[in-house]
Amino acid sequence: MELNFEQIMQREAAQKKQIYHDLNQSAVPGQIVMAGSSLMEQFPINELLMSSGRHIIVYNRGLGGFTTEQYLEALDVCVLELKPRKVFINIGTNDIGATEGWQEALIANYREILCRIRTELPDCKIIVMAYYPVANTDSPFCPPNAAEPRTLDKVLLANRLVRELADELELRYIEVNHAIADENGYLKAEYAKDPVHMWPCAYREILNALMPYFED
């Protein structure tokens, strides 16, 4: 029987979670985890770290296409099993504009994710990352079946809401967008693979901006 698009995505998500679970069995506890959706999954962080001569163990647990609700269901595999000392989290871009009232769903799920990490891993330092800017284009990115396109204004709104959530929970919020944004706050054209995703050269700049937070 031929699978439809949604069924294919569900199968791929299940396979990715199984791969992460298998890898977690040999992972070194007490390291750094990068958590998020496709913008995290596509971060070639280990290759960039090796190329720069930095000896840091980082586990990338991004899951492309995941919303905060879906990531919450995968939190054991993506974060908790690894028992990290520090987690950088950037999840929720797929919530932006997905439905009417997306703001409430985003913050409710994000709150649950952060509180669960803090409860189950009390010694883990949680660093909440700002969402990255989108490119300036005549055709803003709009996922299938989304209510609204993902625009820079919506990203900035989401960043404000997430920063308020981090402040409320007394967690560190960081923004490294200065490394990849143009003078108007958009993703620089040379870094844009499409309206929201980035080429490796952008991640090189992001990693340089993140290094002080890795080392503190």
- Ordered DSSP codes for 60-99: EEE-TT--HHHHHHTHHHHTGGG--SEEEEE--GGGTTTS
Q: What is the pLDDT of residue 99?
A: 84
In a domain, 115, yes or no: yes
The answer to whether the CB of 38 falls within 8 A of the CB of 197 is yes
Q: Fill in the amino acid letter for 101.
A: G
In a domain, 7, yes or no: no
CATH code at 168? Answer: 3.40.50.1110
In a domain, 21, yes or no: no
Q: What is the pLDDT of residue 47?
A: 97
Give pTM, 2 decimals. 0.94
In a domain, 3, yes or no: no
In a domain, 204, yes or no: yes
- Domain ranges, residue 105: 31-215
In a domain, 14, yes or no: no
Residue with tokens 């340089």: 208
In a domain, 62, yes or no: yes
H-type helices in 79-199, by residue range? 102-120, 152-168
**What domain count does the chain have?**
1
Q: What is the pLDDT of residue 27?
A: 98
**Length of the chain in residues, anyone?**
216
Q: Six-digit token pair at 27?
A: 């992972």
10-residue mean pLDDT series, the chain (216 residues): 68 91 97 97 97 94 94 97 98 90 95 98 98 86 67 96 98 97 96 95 97 90
Among 158, 167, 164, CA closest to 177: 158
Q: What is the pLDDT of residue 13?
A: 84
Q: What is the pLDDT of residue 145?
A: 59
In a domain, 145, yes or no: yes
Q: Specify which residues 34 forms β-bridges with.
A: 60, 88
Q: What is the pLDDT of residue 147?
A: 62
